[in-house]
Structure 1
Amino acid sequence: MEDLVKAIQTTPIIDNHAHPLLIPSAQAKYPLLSITTEAHGDAMKATPSSLSHIRAVNQLSRVLNCPPTWHDVVQTIEVEKAKPNDAWSRRCFEGIETLLIDDGLDGKDEAFDYAWHDRLTRAKCKRIVRIEKVAEEIINECLKQPGASSEDMFLTFLSDFDNAIKDAVLDSEVVAFKSVICYRTGLNVPSQPPLPSEVKQSFLQILSNHRAEGGSHFKRLDGTLLNAFLVHATALIIRSSKTPHKKALQFHTGLGDNDITLTRSSPSHLQEFIRRYPEVPIVLLHASYPWTKEAGYLASVYENVYADIGEVFPFVSRQGQEAVVREILELCPSEKILWSTDGHWFPETYLLAVIQVREALEAVLSEYIRKKDLTVPQAVKIVQDILFNTSNNLYDLKLPLKPFAIASALDLSSPQHSDLNLLRSFLDEHPSTKFLRLQFLDYTATPRMRVIPIRHALSLLQTQSSLTTGILTASLGLLQNDTIIPEVNGTDEYRLQAIFSSIRRGPAKNYASVQGEFRGQDNSEVTLCPRSILRRTVQNSKAQGLEFLLGFEIEVVFMSPVSDFKPGYTANSSSKGHAWNSARSLQEKALLPMLEEIYDSLSSSGIYLEAWHPESCAGQYEFVLPALPPLEAVDTLLHARDIIATVAAGHSLRATLFPKPFPEEAGTASHAHISISSPNGEEKEVYESFYAGILDHLRAIIAFTYSNPESYARMLDSHWAGGRWVTWGSQNRETALRKIAGSHWEIKVLDGLANMYLAMASIIGAGTHGILAHQKLKWGDCMEDPAKLSWEERHRLGIREGLPKDLGEALTALAEDEILCGILGTEVVERYISVKRGEEELLTSMSEDVRRNWIIERY
């Protein structure tokens, strides 16, 4: 999910509907308590007990680094406001590209001009003209002409309003119009414009009522046919305008203060008006809450309608906000959805809205990705549409989508502080978590970790941007028995940084696990870091327009200790009669509860198996993981293995990935399914070049995929294990690469002793090189067991090389493959070969039985 989180945190926000901030002298007149509620007066007294207010207090306290009480938050804000150069307001507006400001609220003299806000945003702010305010100001000017007749006033009103709207259409500072008729008569606007006589009568009645009341200043146009006239007149002017781009007409819908008639605020009342003006872009503001589904429907079926999902941030609870995002996406295309803060008066309304929309988007879209409704790139596109693209296009802003870099050190929702944000979100869901396992996979594929109490992790993240711990640089030169290879020494250290997008519950009660990447003391990337190598490889491929999905199959054998007094492992007693996919293998009372516990534990960690079944070897089972982007797929694989091993240990069994636990039975692999998920991935010339690149370098890649001397005991012909030949075949399990359909292929020559970050980096890197080099798939589709073909038959299919017969030969092939060394980095390959040579020497010094048990104990 890293790419999604990054997009959510860094995509610039076009706030398509906002209001100005109060000038300092006016701030004391309005209660700060209003930042999370539409309540006014006495109704506001109960606000502190609302979920929206409580959440805001907690979020503001974390940003301000003060105790989570309203009193402390208010006091600390006062301190922040006293800092020079609008520092606090600038902080609250971080991540916002520009504001489109409706400055038509009452108390205009108490707020800054819209252009003043330019100092707070990256791009200049623009205006939204509130049509009722225009009409009210014209009427007020008419009333200042005591000698004018009512007839003259009416004609002046019509002329001035028409001119004001036409001028605004041509004004480059104005990007849209807005109506608050929802507050005046409700949204049930007459389908036909009022007749001139009706408009005149309404206008004259307004003047008469105002004079009868003895008022000196006209403030509000309310509850008359004149309100309907204003929206029709504005729509007609927009429709007839000759400008190449039609300016939008925004409508307040749904959520509002008690001045609104809620039953008439549903956008469904606007349907006839929408139909009448198909050329006029219409924006339904404020998520139309609680009628969000109606807004989504209208935006999906009418080309000119757009749905804004603002104001519910921060006025609605977390669950309500996530529900709004889900409901709008039920029907509405993301290209018709835009977002706003409806920020007003206080900068904190902007800060909270931005933090909370990011949280809601991450929660909802991550769930869709986990359920495979969306890929990560598709989710990123939705984020960019909602926060930037839709508004940029609708309002013709012509702004470049330039992601923000690192924001303020206080910003919980910035990339710099997303670690704390992610950890807190995780703990909200899993409050019983006490310990965090910060893990990495070394060059021998040994999982290593540090356990950090959650309390300490939170404390560290309050004062630093990431969670790190010191690890000896020699850790990437260790053998399984902690021997350091001669090429490294025990001095200096890296920083192991937690990558919180990988955090998952487990593998044991009260624990969570997170994968780490190595950084230098200056926070630079470490060339040798296995996870960073895969991440860089994926990024390089993405720069070429290539994205991938990986799905792993975990094969594991459950074994029993020989005895408490004798070392070694043997087939567990419940594996008698075990066979591939046999029902008998799922009837054992001893094993079935364990298998169900594995499924439940994986599910509680957010890993949802697609299938599981008995495999051929005694006590062997396969667990099929879902397809995910490469980094997430490998992170998930490692965590799933941890869970399986932990559950098995609780049942006094050893879950092993040993490639050939029983010489006469099937081996244990870790097959990977790979497909090209980018738009051109299913084009034959693309995916064939990709797999041609892999096959062209397969002899070197084997050094990563069959990374242990014991791996080669599994390399057998005619055992559905991928065979011993460099070739491929459609649905052929005797070939190293099995084509399934289109770009979806399976890598058969891969086992659980591989460092999967390095293995996948070598595969994706070689395949990407194949595409860039336009390599041809010079191997024919092998439909038979290649071992059973004659030399001539293999030659016709282009099968001319065998796979390395042992690790030594594979390492030599790797060292000689200049292209793959260039893809991964010479330093990486040299370190890897050095570690593997040391591992090979260590293992060959052992007897066969000792070596077997020694590896089973570790893998």
Structure 2
Amino acid sequence: MTEADAPGPLGGGFFDTRVGLAVRRWCAPVLDLAPHASPDDYLARRAELGFAEVNRRFLASAGLGALCVDTGFNPDGLLTPDELGGLAGASAHEIVRLETLAESVAAREGGADGFADAFRTALAERTRNAVGVKSIAAYRAGLDLAGERPADRDVAQAAERLLRGAAGAGRPRVADPVLHRFLIWCASDLRLPVQFHVGYGDADADLRRGDPLLLTGLLRELARAGTPVLLLHNYPFQRSAGYLAQVFPNVFADVGLALHGVGDRASVVLGELLELAPFGKVLYSSDAYGLAEYYHLAALLFRRALGRVLDGGLAEGSWTGSDASRLAGMVAAGNARRVYGLDG
């Protein structure tokens, strides 16, 4: 057993996961290696090419027409949206993370009474060229958020708690349901599409609080306001997300983060989302982060998964070939272009 094959301290390593096996199968040829190249050969070739060439190859091979990039978590070393777009040969658009902006406002505002107005002003300015916003309430407070717009006095009290916590912790951290709701309604007032992280994430996410069904009350109120809502990733709640996309006119869903994670099971997960979700309410996304391989792998596995779902329906006589082509175009690009206004 080589060092790259060796399991971690408690057993298991990246290359012994479905995503790791998918990297060896589908990413190795992009680096001029044979499919299923050994982990050692793969890592050696990656190092030989260097990160700039690796990034260029994988972004170009993804075949993207546009990128919508969440810039809310952007430590040193990550490429900017424009840099990603340049490598992919695609237009790049920003998604503003609500909590990150709110924490920045709280850190410089200094007073709870002025927080709400300061945030509204900052959001309007920050999203001038953005195509949407994102909430990570699932990570911080859970998705069991009341639907009603919070009263000004409740927002001020929540901002006071935020600032008190910042004094002890050294920085503000939004984790209050009242503030999450306030941020979302501010975005709604600007008629911006609102993304929610749902379900599967890293160890900071509590899946018990990440079920999209918990958003039902808020989704109902946002539907009345005409606010587009994007449920992102959703695993293992893809069937629930499909239901919500069916019953609420403003709700869209994807299984982006899950597809490269499940590797060769991608068509099963996408198929479960599409059991109820209208084809006009499902979008492609990757949530690619950190590794350029994920841009290529997510796009490739999505195309294969969608092809298998549509080919299966074609074989059953559920739709025609022209239907399948039209539906593929909607899910792969058309729906996203419509909801984010990318053609405007």
Letter in 1 for 2:38: T
Partner of 1:247: 192
Change (3 A) 1:63 1:127: same
CA contact (8 A) 1:61 1:69 kept: no
The alpha carbon displacement at 1:205 in A equals: 2.1
1:162 aligns with 2:120: yes
- C-alpha distance in structure 1 between counterparts of 2:185 and 2:9, whole Å: 37
- C-alpha distance in structure 2 between counterparts of 1:291 and 1:267, whole Å: 7
Partner of 1:91: 60
Letter in 2 for 1:199: V
Q: Where does 1:70-89 land on structure 2 (aligned, <5 Å)?
A: 70-81=39-50, 87-89=56-58
The alpha carbon displacement at 1:116 in A equals: 2.1
- C-alpha distance in structure 1 between counterparts of 2:267 and 2:340, whole Å: 26
Return the index of the structure with the highest Cα Rg: 1
Partner of 1:191: 147
CA RMSD of aligned residues (A): 2.5
Which SS does the other structure have where 2:323 is aligned? Answer: helix
Q: Where does 1:112-261 land on structure 2 (aligned, <5 Å)?
A: 112-142=79-109, 153-168=111-126, 171=128, 173-213=129-169, 215=170, 218=171, 220-223=173-176, 225-235=178-188, 237-238=189-190, 246-261=191-206
Per-residue CA distance 1:216-262 (angstroms, 9 max, x = gap): xx253224532232223322x13xxxxxxx43111001111111110
User: Which of 1 and 2 has higher RCO (CA within 8 Å, sep 6+)?
Assistant: 2
Which SS does the other structure have where 2:290 is aligned? Answer: coil
Q: Where does 1:372-521 land on structure 2 (aligned, <5 Å)?
A: 372-398=317-343
Per-residue CA distance 1:3-46 (angstroms, 9 max, x = gap): xxxxxxxxxxxxxxxxxxxxxxxxxxxxx99xxxxxxx978954
CA contact (8 A) 2:194 2:230 kept: yes
1:301 to 235, 247, 250: 247
1:281 aligns with 2:228: yes
Letter in 2 for 1:175: V
Letter in 1 for 2:299: V
Q: Where does 1:789-800 land on structure 2 (aligned, <5 Å)?
A: none
Which SS does the other structure have where 1:260 is aligned? Answer: coil
Which SS does the other structure have where 2:108 is aligned? Answer: helix
CA contact (8 A) 1:56 1:314 kept: no
Which SS does the other structure have where 1:230 is aligned? Answer: helix
Per-residue CA distance 1:808-833 (angstroms, 9 max, x = gap): xxxxxxxxxxxxxxxxxxxxxxxxxx
Change (3 A) 1:62 1:270: same
Partner of 1:350: 295
- C-alpha distance in structure 1 between counterparts of 2:213 and 2:60, whole Å: 38
The alpha carbon displacement at 1:295 in A equals: 0.8
Change (3 A) 1:140 1:365: same
Letter in 1 for 2:123: I
- C-alpha distance in structure 1 between counterparts of 2:28 and 2:284, whole Å: 25
- C-alpha distance in structure 1 between counterparts of 2:206 and 2:153, whole Å: 28
Letter in 1 for 2:33: C
- When normalised by structure 2's length, the TM-score is 0.89
Change (3 A) 1:46 1:301: same
Partner of 1:314: 260
- When normalised by structure 1's length, the TM-score is 0.37
Per-residue CA distance 1:629-675 (angstroms, 9 max, x = gap): xxxxxxxxxxxxxxxxxxxxxxxxxxxxxxxxxxxxxxxxxxxxxxx
- C-alpha distance in structure 2 between counterparts of 1:222 and 1:106, whole Å: 19
CA contact (8 A) 1:251 1:284 kept: yes
The alpha carbon displacement at 1:346 in A equals: 1.8
The alpha carbon displacement at 1:130 in A equals: 0.6
Which SS does the other structure have where 2:131 is aligned? Answer: strand
CA contact (8 A) 2:46 2:54 kept: no
Change (3 A) 1:100 1:388: same
Give the fraction of aligned pairs with identical amino acids, expressed as a percent: 27
Per-residue CA distance 1:317-361 (angstroms, 9 max, x = gap): 322x11222112211211111111111122111011111112112
- C-alpha distance in structure 1 between counterparts of 2:215 and 2:323, whole Å: 32
Which SS does the other structure have where 1:129 is aligned? Answer: strand
Partner of 1:784: none
Larger fraction in helix: 2
Runs of 5+ consecutive residues of structure 1 not aligned to the other structure: 1-31, 34-40, 144-152, 239-245, 400-859
Runs of 5+ consecutive residues of structure 2 not aligned to the other structure: none
Larger fraction in strand: 1
Partner of 2:38: 69
Partner of 1:101: 69
Change (3 A) 1:309 1:139: same
